[in-house]
Structure 1
């Protein structure tokens, strides 16, 4: 059962039209550009020509909101929760160029640092893997080539204590701190994307039957009494 859930999570993470892949396409410069989507997000209209028109009108706003959340989190990196990685290796589902799945385990939960909470990754977390603990946002710029953004695809495996993660770019060597204590790898929490991904998936799904009927009723509650040709109204 757990393996099936793990595979389903992997498949959902690796979908090439997903919100995660849009996030992974952003450079650090994009993430730090507060005005990246300025004037690019159209105002959501009050009327819609179809249910697809209605659902598609919200997608740019979700992308912009996700970018805004990440922008804020990067400026808060000095206070971000973090943990230290013990091992990180390629997962069975790994496949270039998009499905860059890995699995990692943690050292003992990092002792609490002043102003920073202890951290254990949760499903839906977007995190930055770095070889130093960033003390400021510009540390990420300085180590950009060593910084990997990852999305936690599921819960910790109860048998081996490993977490499944999808990376934004390939990590060319497996990591094992037990073989070299001088090597360090940290996971720094950025934001949890669960809610935005659920909304995105709902807007992109092919809703049929009762689900689509509900949306149509919301858009056109008095459709039986309205003249033909009247547009959907929210």
Structure 2
């Protein structure tokens, strides 16, 4: 499955909970964007560190208030045809409600209980599993496709549903990174165009 801004999304999904909460994670790594540049390539590249830092800051801020974030209950989850270890962890998900407020590029935390504090994440003994909504079915709003940060031990989840407590899996809304992904895509598209121009000029010369 092709996903716009995949490099940025992979970076976000690889952050650990400790890294997300670390407000100084990118301290000293993001410089002031200059007013003049030696090349067009330098211009595009200068915005990338700031964009990563802004994305991290948004996620860090949202995770501290998860206890009051919207929550959806997941009633069914299974790997899609595109699922492939270790990075293409795509899952088809059914939500308990007929109407879903989740849209593409929403980041959600997956947990087996409604969190009331940051350290409340837990799914099959794996802390902090986050996913991004890749696709929402317009005809079935409660069916979405997600890309998860870690493989989900679904046999444990199915076993949980069989017990008397009828435990389930929840998706907790964190933030939406549509704008971040679009900017990331535009910056890298600009760099790719420059590379094509350079190659063509070398061929012509």
**TM-score in terms of structure 2 length:** 0.83
The separation in 2 between residues aligned to 1:14 and 1:62, in whole angstroms, is: 12
Per-residue CA deviation, residues 153-181 of structure 1 (Å, 9 max, x unaligned), is 12225258420100001012165587556
Q: How many residues are treated as equivalent by the alignment?
A: 190
How far the C-alpha of 1:138 sits from its partner, in A, is 2.7
Answer yes or no: is 1:11 the counterpart of 2:12: no
Q: Whose radius of gyration is greater, 1 or 2?
A: 1
Distance in 2 (alpha carbons) for counterparts of 1:51 and 1:144: 48
1:162 partnered with 2:176: no
Q: Secondary structure at the match of 1:42?
A: coil
Secondary structure in 1 aligned to 2:19?
A: helix
The structural deviation recorded for 1:147 is: 3.5
User: Where do 4+ consecutive residues of structure 1 move more than 4 Å?
Assistant: 141-144, 174-181
Query: For 2:14 and 2:36, how far apart are their aligned partners in 1?
Result: 32
SS of 1:207's equivalent?
A: helix
TM-score (norm 1): 0.73
Do the aligned residues in 1 keep the contact of 2:73 with 2:169 (CA within 8 Å)? yes
Please list, as runs of the form range in 1=range in 2, the aligned pairs for 1:45-60 lying within 5 A after superposition.
Answer: 45-60=34-49
Q: 1:37-60 CA distances to partner (integer Å, 9 max, x unpaired)?
A: 111101101111111110000000
Corresponding residue to 2:29 among 40, 45, 48: 40
Deviation at 1:140, TM superposition (A): 3.1
Paired position in structure 1 for 2:134 = 153
Contact 1:82-1:119 at 8 Å conserved across structures: no
**Cα RMSD (Å) of the superposition?**
2.7
